[in-house]
Structure 1
Amino acid sequence: MDLDSTPEQEEIKALIEGPQVILQRHARSTANASYEELVRKFGDPNDIPYEDLLNNDFNPANRDAKIDQLGIEQCLESQKIANQLPIHTIFVSPLRRALMTAYYVYKDHPDFSSIKLTLLPSLRESISIISDIPSNIDEVIEEFKELIPQLDIAELSTL
């Protein structure tokens, strides 16, 4: 480690120096926020009444949850490193929270317009609660096509 560099600079240097695959989960979603609210209310997650968990996990408002303001802030914080990396391809789940995360993390990247962003259905979470249920894919594409004009939807034929 160079004595004049910060740990963040060393991490960036390590990422740039070789071929990399970077795995990134989505930022905080509205569904994550509603669960966190239950934890705040009841303290220990094991103390949350089952009915409250069910009401949260299957609340229609949480279907294909978007990221919230804190999630956007998390993405913008990630830009500090992401904007310095030589990114050429991003594979992303077709769930809104994943697309929003990819957009907010990479939208200011110097090469954003040339980064291939591919929707890959196999990256979607397995369905266990309502936030894992995708929206109509045509609506999602319509929502993101202006934000991410290079969005590659060819893999959607595997749905």
Structure 2
Amino acid sequence: MDFHLSEESKFYSQQYQIPLEVPSLDTDQDYSDKPFILVRHGFSMQNFQEKEVINKNPNWDYSQTEGLEEMFTNEKYIDSSLHEIGIFQCVQQQKSINKFKFHTVFISPLRRTIQTCIYLFATHPDRQNIKFVLLPQLAECLCSSGCFSAFTLSQTRKEMEALASKYQITIDYTKVSELGESWQIKVLENGQIVKKILDKLERNGECGYRQPYCKIILDEIKQTKNFLIESWEMLYKKSKKAQEIIKDYQESAKQQLIQNGQDDSDFKIGIVSHGYLMKCMTASRIENDGTVQEGIVLQNVQILPYSFD
């Protein structure tokens, strides 16, 4: 797959110190004891917008930086897509990801992670046989319009399925469809917050309609401290639920292969998600103050063979 950066993107990569090179992976190493392959999404438009804000405001601060609220709550930034640099990063990692044999790849239902998965696996020799499954619990912390996936089952699905079909990739939306349009609210690990938001949708008679749904969620984001509907504690719990779902699936798939007389020794389960979510997923604990001090922080499109044991 040929892909070349525009001169504009090359300029911004230098001006904003955006790394074009992604962390390399030693594919000659034995990863047989690492059944999972973790991947963070590529550099996104939201990442780029933050770089612009920081460049204009060297003393960047969530509570004081001019224009930050506009960036974090504006409808035009909803469900941020990959920047051209992010696509370039995915293409760089294709040779590394192609070295692994995959049974299933679980993906966050946000646009940038779906795009990352498609571009990353675009040349995988077995891509037509790999199961690509959207898993709602892999979604990033709900903390801005860029992390709010309002159109997953409507226009975003059409866009992503069209892109996936170009590379003979099929994406399974079942787990998202079962929860409906407000899936991202229903997987939040705080019953009171879930009930409050769903009640607002129900009370206003707006459940299922895109524009009012967007307005209610963005208003909720504006009313929270640092635009965080989803706290670190909630994200940590959600990530552990995702981990449990994926581990159970991996064990079931392994047993099924054994029953069918197939070799299960080298197949992997892929996980394409986000920086904060994966930090929580790989952390062993959460602090008393609700912050996560442990956990691995992946760079954009970094490939990490991993074991949860």
The question of whether the paired residues in 1 share the 8 Å contact of 2:109 and 2:134 is answered with: yes
Q: Which has the higher contact order (CA 8 A, sep 6+)?
A: 2
The question of whether the paired residues in 2 share the 8 Å contact of 1:16 and 1:86 is answered with: no
Query: Of the candidates 106, 110, 129, which is equivalent to residue 95 of structure 1?
Result: 110
- For 2:119 and 2:30, the matched residues in 1 are separated by 20
- For 1:12 and 1:71, the matched residues in 2 are separated by 22
* 1:29 shift after superposition: 0.8
| Larger relative helix fraction | 1
Query: Of the candidates 48, 58, 65, which is equivalent to residue 43 of structure 1?
Result: 58
- For 1:86 and 1:64, the matched residues in 2 are separated by 30
Equivalent residue, structure 2, for 1:140: 156
The question of whether the paired residues in 1 share the 8 Å contact of 2:94 and 2:121 is answered with: yes
Q: 1:18 to 1:147 in 2, by over 3 A?
A: farther
Equivalent residue, structure 2, for 1:65: 80
2:156 partner letter: V
SS, match of residue 100 in structure 2: coil
SS, match of residue 91 in structure 1: strand
> Relative to structure 2, which stretch is displaced further, 55-64 or 37-46?
37-46
* 1:124 shift after superposition: 0.8
- For 1:15 and 1:116, the matched residues in 2 are separated by 24
1:113-147 CA-to-partner distances (Å, cap 9, x unmatched) read 11110011111113111111113222222222233
Give the structure-1-normalised TM-score: 0.84
* 1:150 shift after superposition: 2.0
Q: 1:47 to 1:19 in 2, by over 3 A?
A: closer
Equivalent residue, structure 2, for 1:3: none
Equivalent residue, structure 2, for 1:5: none
Unmatched 5+ residue regions in structure 2?
1-23, 184-309
SS, match of residue 28 in structure 2: helix
* 1:46 shift after superposition: 3.4
* 1:100 shift after superposition: 0.3
> Relative to structure 2, which stretch is displaced further, 57-66 or 136-145?
136-145
The two structures, once aligned, show a CA RMSD in angstroms of 2.1
Equivalent residue, structure 2, for 1:150: 170
2:109 partner letter: P
Compare CA radii of gyration and give the structure with the larger one: 2
Query: Of the candidates 136, 141, 147, which is equivalent to residue 121 of structure 1?
Result: 136
- For 1:36 and 1:68, the matched residues in 2 are separated by 12
1:142 partner letter: K
* 1:49 shift after superposition: 4.0
Equivalent residue, structure 1, for 2:71: 56
Q: 1:115 to 1:147 in 2, by over 3 A?
A: farther
1:86 partner letter: K
Equivalent residue, structure 2, for 1:104: 119
- For 1:78 and 1:154, the matched residues in 2 are separated by 28
- For 1:31 and 1:47, the matched residues in 2 are separated by 15
* 1:41 shift after superposition: 1.7
* 1:47 shift after superposition: 8.9
Q: 1:147 to 1:104 in 2, by over 3 A?
A: same
The question of whether the paired residues in 2 share the 8 Å contact of 1:29 and 1:65 is answered with: yes
- For 1:107 and 1:145, the matched residues in 2 are separated by 13
- Equivalent pairs, count: 151
Equivalent residue, structure 1, for 2:282: none
Query: Of the candidates 94, 103, 113, which is equivalent to residue 79 of structure 1?
Result: 94
SS, match of residue 24 in structure 1: strand
Unmatched 5+ residue regions in structure 1?
1-7
Identity of aligned residues (%): 28
